[in-house]
Every structure is written in C-alpha cells, then in structure tokens.
Amino acid sequence: MSCRITPTGVIRYQPEKCWNGLTIVPGLIGISYAKGAVLVDMNGTIVNTWEGLYGAFDNKLLPGGDILGCTKFFPRCWLDGMNITQMTWDGTVKWFFDRGEQMIHPATGELHWSARAHHDFQREGSPCGYFCPGQEPVERGKTLINSSLSKRIEDLCPYPVSDTRLIEVDEEGNILWSWELMEHWDEFGLEEIAKAVFHRYFVKHEETDYVKDIYCNNVNYLGPNRWYDKGDERFHPENIISDIRILNTSFIIDRKTGTLVWRLGPGFTHSKEVQEIGQIVGQHHVHMIPRGLPGEGNVLLFDNGGQAGLGSPTPCSSTGYNRCTRGYSRVLEIDPVALEVVWAFNDVLHDYGGKVEARAFENKLYSEYCSSADRLPNGNTLITETIPGRVIEVTPDKEIVWEYIHPGGCVFRAHRYPYEWFPQVSTRREIPVTPPRNMEIRITPEGGVTLVEPESIYGGEMTSAIPES
C-alpha cells in the first residue's frame, strides 16, 4: 500500500507580499472540518465558526461580522438549499429567506417552502460578494439569489428538468425580479444538435426525480464600470453576469429586457480574438472586477478544464456530450470589449508565450469543478482550487505568496476580508511560513523512520518541475 503525507493549513506565507486579512474557507456540503462556515487568519488559525451554516454553496461576510449561508438542503433535491440565512458573529439568525418554491417533502408528503438556492447569491451594495473598498454589502437590503425551478421541457429531456431561476428578493422575501435560463436557450449560440445530444445522454442523479445539469454557477451584478461610463449600454451597472458550466458559456443579462447582451463561448473559433483566448471549458465564478480594485472593468473567471460542452461529436467525445476536454485549469482576466487576455495564471499560451517549457504548469492548478478567483486590493488574486481543497494568493507576477490546504478536503470558494470588518477579533497573527522541502520517508528494517533528501536519492540538484509543496 502506498503512503502519502500531505501538509494542511497554511504551508506558505510571505506577509509583506500579501493583502492580509481574514479568510472564509467554506467546505463543500458535509465536508468542512468545522461542520459549517470557518473563518481563519493568515496563519490558518480558526478565529470563528458558524456550525450548521454551510455555503449555498458560498458564504459571504458583511461588515461587523454577519455571515450569509444555508442551514439545510431539501431532501432528494440535488444542490438545492432550503434557505438563505444571515447570522450574527455568535450564530444568532438575523434574516431568513425560503419562499422560492413549494416542494413536496419526500418523507412526509407535505408541502414545504424552499429557497432552492444553489451556488451563489449577492447582497445589495456589493456586486460580487468579496471585499471592494467603497462597495460594501449592506446589513439589510435586497438579495440576488441563484435558485432552481422544476419544469417540463419535452424536446430537451423526457424527465422534468431543474431550470435556473435568478431572483432578487427584498428584506421581506418578496420576489422583485426573476429570470429563467431555459426561456433564453436560443440566445446562447449553441449548435442545433445540442438539445438532441442532451436529450439522449443527460445524466440523472439517483436521488432526484428530475434532471439538473444545465444551470448557472454564479450570479453577480456588474456594478459601476468604465465601459458603461463610456456609453456602452451592455454594461449597465444593474445588469447581471453569470455562466453555465456545461455550455462553456459566460454571459451578461440585460436587467430590463432579460436578453443576453454579451456572451463569451460556447465556441472559440469564430474570430481571431476568441481564438487567442482559447477554448474555455467548464468555467466558474465569472464576474467583472469591481470599481476600486486593480483591473476594474475586466472579466475575471476560473477556467476549470475537465469536460464540458454540448454539440457535435469531437475526438474527445463521440456523443457530443462533454465535447471539450482539457487536463488543467487556468485563471483568466479578459478585457470584455477587446476580448483580449489581460492576465492569466497557469496558462501555457499567455504565461509562457506558447512555449511548453520545463517550468510550464509548475503551479499544477487543476479543479474540474467549482473554484473561484477574487481580485485583492493590492493587485494580488486569491484563487480557490476546489477539488484539492487548496487556496492560494498570487501576485501579478504569478508568485504564490500564501497557500492554504483545507484539512477537510474540498473548498467551494474562499474570500478574504479586511480586519476592520470584525471588531470581535483583537489580535492579528502574521507569522511568515516557509514551505518544507520535499523529503522521502524511509522505514528501516528495524522499524525506525529516516528522512532522505531527494538530491541524495537521485544525485545532484533536483531538476523536476514538481513544486516543493
């Protein structure tokens, strides 16, 4: 049996190069080692937990120490949170929303209200939920929620499907605005064969009586931006930006008409500009960098790789289901007007000028699902690599200056917030951490343990591109 030792917590930290604060690191449902939302300092020490409050799948913090999340998931409803709950620092419920759709409880047969919230939500005042000077979420106000709605669409699927319904609700839970994904299918630029491919090869989860595979992964306001200031109505601050993983598509919704006014994907061959971006596969967390942060107005996203896409068969997929494949992830910052990559991380084309060198992919960024990238006030980028449970802070020059490994495994999306938001925390721990060198552990014939330097095993200086941690 092979044995592998993996360090957890903060394994790399250069305080002078980081934007220091407190970080929320929500584990995926049921995985978090604190059984809920966890706030850690720069050295990985837990400063607060909210047991039973999970991300839905995200957690968002508010100035003063309040937090938004979900306390319960509806039985036999994959990815559907029954509520969006706002708690104080000590766990007292301050606000609660569950009036999205009435559902029949499979155990009792009775009707229950459910928010059917999944993946993402935003509180008024903040366009994308992470810290931006001058654009802070309000304690009480409107909330934009990514939710589900079951319906029949016969030409798409023989079973009921769970459609994405974006809703905005007021403090009393009244729905002020809604938008349903499937009503805009023809606006996504898909091949005509796409519906037939899904109808034939859809994936149905055993625990549900409906199919849920085409849905939005996040929901964000655009917020004030330079493009709208210049007269481009597509980028109205109240318009909404989102993405659909399986369609390889990111898009902006006109808030007033509901139509798509900007789209990136699903294909990347129809113009020189998108060809130079390269095929995006299964992206998550697309949003516009808020005003007040470096890169403001550019679109930032986590391009997962893995498999996604619906359409004609390819060498990667003889069925056309999950037609695109790539075995690594990258983070892209894109000018949404010129369609140019402004900054990239872990990408051969944009990091290394198209040359596959020994140092290429030295950061080994890869998460097939979920994940995120937040722009920090000092220009660094906080990247969540969900599947390995890894969160890193990266400088504009692509140096990793903070690295955290979640003890419980997967992390949905981590966000960094300023100390000033949390008067409950009186101390700041900012102790540098140097990652340990790679070592081989040898068990001796007598049952003892010795540590062996890699250089002594292979001779000379190590030349492998594998990172030290």
- Give the residue extent of every domain in the chain: 9-435, 441-469
Look up residue 398 and give its amino acid.
Answer: K
* Main-chain dihedrals φ then ψ at residue 168, nearest 5 degrees: -120, 130
pLDDT per residue over 115-130, tens digit each?
Answer: 999 999 999 999 999 9
Residue 466: pLDDT band by 50, 70, 90 thresholds? very low
Using alpha carbons, select from 126, 153, 414 the residue that is nearest to residue 289: 126
Using alpha carbons, select from 19, 12, 2 the residue that is nearest to residue 375: 19
- Model pTM score: 0.91
Tell me if residue 394 falls in helix, strand or coil. strand
Task: Look at 354 and 142; give whichever has higher pLDDT.
Answer: 142
Indicate the burial class of 419 (C-beta count within 10 angstroms; 0-12, 13-18, 19 or more). Answer: middle
User: 28-32, 137-141, 153-157, 250-254: lowest mean pLDDT where?
Assistant: 28-32
Residue 439 is predicted with a pLDDT of 67
329-to-8, 42, 373, 384, 398 alpha-carbon distances in Å: 22, 25, 12, 11, 15
Question: Before 7, cis peptide (omega within 30)?
Answer: no
CA–CA distance, 360 with 394 (Å, rounded to integer): 16
Average pLDDT for 386-406: 94
Average pLDDT for 317-323: 94
Tell me if residue 150 falls in helix, strand or coil. strand
CA–CA distance, 101 with 98 (Å, rounded to integer): 8
* DSSP letter assigned to residue 273: H
Contact between 147 and 121 under an 8 Å Cβ cutoff? The reply is no
Using alpha carbons, select from 430, 386, 269 the residue that is nearest to residue 27: 386
Show the beta-strand stretches assigned E in 4-92.
Answer: 9-13, 22-24, 36-40, 46-51, 60-61, 67-69, 84-87
Residue 189 in tokens: 């630029």
Contact between 219 and 240 under an 8 Å Cβ cutoff? The reply is yes
pLDDT per residue over 412-465, tens digit each?
Answer: 899 999 999 999 999 899 999 998 776 667 777 877 777 776 654 444 443 333
Give the 3-state secondary structure of the chain.
Answer: CCCCCCCCEEEEECHHHCCCCEEECCECCCCCCCCEEEEECCCCCEEEEEECCECCCCCEECCCCCEEEECCECCCCCCCECCEEEECCCCCEEEEECCCEEEECCCCCCEEEECCEEEEEEECCCCCCCCCCCCCCCCCCCEEEEEEEEECCCCCCCCCEEEEEEEEECCCCCEEEEEEHHHHHHHCCCCCHHHHHHHHHCCCCCCCCCECCCCEEEEEECCCCHHHHCCCHHHCCCCEEEEEHHHCEEEEECCCCCCEEEEECCCCCCCHHHHHHCCCCCCEEEEECCCCCCCCCCEEEEECCEEEEECCCECCECCCEEEEEECCCEEEEEECCCCEEEEEECCHHHHCCCCCCCCCCCCCCCCCCCCEEEECCCCCEEEEECCCCEEEEECCCCCEEEEEECCCCCECCCEEECHHHCCCCCCCCCCCECCCCCCEEEECCCCCEEEECHHHHHCCCCCCCCCCC
Q: Give strand pairing partners of 216.
A: 244
Domain 9-435 CATH (choose: 3.30.70.1230, 1.10.3720.10, 2.120.10.30, 3.50.7.10)? 2.120.10.30
Q: What percent of the chain has pLDDT over 90?
A: 69
Q: Give strand pairing partners of 145.
A: 121, 167
Q: How many CA atoms lie within 13 A of 463 on its CB side?
A: 5
CA–CA distance, 237 with 384 (Å, rounded to integer): 26
Residue 326: pLDDT band by 50, 70, 90 thresholds? very high
pLDDT per residue over 115-172, tens digit each?
Answer: 999 999 999 999 999 999 999 999 999 999 999 998 999 999 998 898 999 999 999 9
Would you say residue 350 has pLDDT above 90?
no
Residue 23: pLDDT band by 50, 70, 90 thresholds? very high
CA–CA distance, 79 with 212 (Å, rounded to integer): 9
Residue 105 is predicted with a pLDDT of 80
| Total count of residues recorded for the chain | 469
Contact between 65 and 424 under an 8 Å Cβ cutoff? The reply is yes
